[in-house]
Structure 1
Amino acid sequence: MKLSFGIKTAPQSTTYEDMKRVWLEAERIPSIEHAWLFDHFMPINGDITGPCLEGWSLVSAFAAITSRLRLGLLVTGNTYRHPAILANIGATVDVISNGRLDFGLGAGWNETEHNAYGIPLYSPGERIRRLGEACELVKRMWTQTAPSFEGNYYRLKAAYCEPKPVQKPYPPFMIGGSGEKLTLRIVAQYADIWNCAGGDVENFKRKSALLAGHCKAIGRDPQTIQRSIPLVLNPAEMQATRAKVRSFIEAGATHFVITIPTPYPEQVVQRLAETIVEPLKREFE
């Protein structure tokens, strides 16, 4: 079993310099393979008036100062940007990183942000259907010269996106969400990585089985989609996080994103690697 571990620094209630220190530490540790930010415009925990750096701007900066880590946003809110614009942003980050982007995308959910910024927040069903169209639209812009597209929500007419991403045919799609009737069908169709946020191991196992069913219905091998789990690290209780990760590995997860809460302790990524990542890789691989 090939396991993959990464870190996440939510760009809220912290500074660019502090996050950069953590990312550069992760860059030096081979067992940490990827690093992530979130896609919000104001803090989603605690004081919403505090600092919050914009995710795609920040990940492009980190792409320029790293050379090994895969990187992305977990996950981009589809409602925040027209997907044609997002396709250009993603292609640019893949070029800057020399082919290290993992393209995270979700339907969007934060009502406070949508209201504050005047961004329409559609019904859950419409948001998920828009997500499906966005996946198709971005895929076409990354693989076709000047695609046109006629969907229910989005339209293109000879839409150029140059340069194309470095990765061929395109950067891997990570889709976040667990809706059983619509979201998991989109995951089955488009995702290379499925991020299952929330819930316990039994919930993950049930959703993973449903995803396998959706894959089989369209003739796709379910094992071609990595199962990803986001967890939050408690630096004072590393063993508890290790036990939780182990339980998800035993349930079939292979891709883990560990959020490091602020303030970031010194050498926290090294401790994460030595206490959790490397022992579990030795145990299961």
Structure 2
Amino acid sequence: MAEWFLYVPQSRQGLDDLVQKARTAETAGFDGIAFLDHLETPMAPTSPIWEAMTVATWMAAHTERLKIGHLVLCDAFRHPAVLAKQTVTLAEASGGRFELGLGSGSMPDELAKFDLSTASPRERVDALGDTLRALRQYWGADDERAQIPTPSQPIPIVLGGIGPRMLGLVREHADWWNLPATYVDRLPEFLPKIGTAKATVQQMTGFVRSGDDPAATTEKAQRRFGHLGPGLVCGDAQSLGAHFRRLEDQGAQRFYVWFADFAPPETITEFGETVIRG
């Protein structure tokens, strides 16, 4: 049975709002929650956004069962030795609920603006590979660079992307591989390229709740997120359930559900009742 994660970009809302959404997701039957990692809100740099690892820590402290992660942490934001220590600390504090999602950086202008990196895409993927190999050393009890304490249990690693070199890192290092939303319709094409990693799908969802006007809900979702193409799916519980079942039949083992209405608690609750548990 596939896992369900609520994907919630932690911008334009308060920390109390995020806690409420996390707790609602936990009650509604979601298995986890994931955040993004940027220093500015993508495409809206004047909108406030909270730091990713701190938010994950706060959500872990305010939930009991949810797995906690990111799509994805930016490699350039944290030195590998510091990231290794942060990850082990949060994994242990949460009772093993933290997963490490990592990426090479999707917004080069942001990296340059804050003097983090001017590396090319190829160089950033190379750096991510270096980080992943370093993490294994820092977490390995028998390595001379091992940090104490070492993890008491394996920490799952989540990588995304579809480029050949990124998929090579997936095969070498990842427990989970995430297919970006804009490539949802190409899932079967990539599955043979991910090795033993389990496949996840990020899906923007225009959920038509009970009593909603389907045309109005769909129009608003298309206006906001139509640029995602197949990454946006709209419909009521029955049609969305069928959509996710098709993806599961194709090989998806986890869904990161991203709501076009920005996930108010009512949407999270009804989706859990009618799609996840339906």
TM-score w.r.t. structure 1 length?
Answer: 0.81
Among 103, 106, 120, the residue aligned to 1:106: 103
- In structure 2, runs of 5+ residues without a counterpart are 209-234
Check conservation: 2:184, 2:203, Cα contact below 8 A: no
Among 161, 171, 184, the residue aligned to 1:188: 171
Give percent identity, aligned residues only: 24
Q: How far, CA to CA, are the matches of 1:54 and 1:250 in structure 2? A: 36
Residue 265 (structure 1) shift: 2.5
SS at match of 1:165: coil
Residue 243 (structure 1) shift: 4.1
Q: How far, CA to CA, are the matches of 1:262 and 1:83 in structure 2? A: 36
Residue 124 (structure 1) shift: 1.5
Q: How far, CA to CA, are the matches of 2:38 and 2:102 in structure 1? A: 13
SS at match of 1:233: strand
Q: Tell me whether 1:10 sits opposite 2:6 in the alignment.
A: no
**How many pairs were matched up?**
251
Q: Tell me whether 1:164 sits opposite 2:150 in the alignment.
A: yes
Residue 263 (structure 1) shift: 4.6
User: Using a 3 Å threshold, how does the CA distance of structure 1 residues 51 and 119 change in structure 2: closer, same or farther?
Assistant: same
Counterpart of 1:219? none
Q: How far, CA to CA, are the matches of 1:201 and 1:59 in structure 2? A: 26
Counterpart of 2:72? 75
Runs of 4+ in 1 over 4 A off after TM superposition: none
Alignment deviations for residues 23-74 of structure 1 (CA, whole Å, 9 cap, x no partner): 0112223x311111111111114x3101100010110111111121111111
Letter in 1 for 2:276: V
Check conservation: 2:20, 2:265, Cα contact below 8 A: no
SS at match of 1:267: helix
Aligned residues: CA RMSD: 1.9
Check conservation: 2:35, 2:70, Cα contact below 8 A: yes
Letter in 1 for 2:168: R
Q: How far, CA to CA, are the matches of 1:56 and 1:8 in structure 2? A: 15
Check conservation: 1:75, 1:106, Cα contact below 8 A: yes
Q: Tell me whether 1:250 sits opposite 2:249 in the alignment.
A: yes
Counterpart of 2:199? 227
Check conservation: 2:24, 2:265, Cα contact below 8 A: no
Q: How far, CA to CA, are the matches of 2:166 and 2:183 in structure 1? A: 19
SS at match of 2:97: coil
Residue 128 (structure 1) shift: 1.2
Q: Tell me whether 1:176 sits opposite 2:176 in the alignment.
A: no
Among 85, 88, 92, the residue aligned to 2:89: 92
TM-score w.r.t. structure 2 length?
Answer: 0.83
Letter in 2 for 1:54: E
Residue 139 (structure 1) shift: 1.8
Q: How far, CA to CA, are the matches of 1:53 and 1:176 in structure 2? A: 22
Check conservation: 1:37, 1:74, Cα contact below 8 A: yes
User: Using a 3 Å threshold, how does the CA distance of structure 1 residues 103 and 178 change in structure 2: closer, same or farther?
Assistant: same
User: Using a 3 Å threshold, how does the CA distance of structure 1 residues 277 and 25 change in structure 2: closer, same or farther?
Assistant: same
Counterpart of 2:34? 36
Letter in 2 for 1:198: A
Residue 262 (structure 1) shift: 5.5
Letter in 2 for 1:15: G
Q: How far, CA to CA, are the matches of 2:91 and 2:163 in structure 1? A: 29
Letter in 2 for 1:92: T
Q: How far, CA to CA, are the matches of 1:117 and 1:242 in structure 2? A: 42
Residue 261 (structure 1) shift: 4.6
Q: How far, CA to CA, are the matches of 2:139 and 2:173 in structure 1? A: 14
Q: Tell me whether 1:205 sits opposite 2:188 in the alignment.
A: yes
Q: How far, CA to CA, are the matches of 1:263 and 1:203 in structure 2? A: 25
Letter in 2 for 1:39: D
Counterpart of 1:139? 136
Alignment deviations for residues 246-278 of structure 1 (CA, whole Å, 9 cap, x no partner): 332221111111123555423222211122222
Q: How far, CA to CA, are the matches of 1:202 and 1:24 in structure 2? A: 31
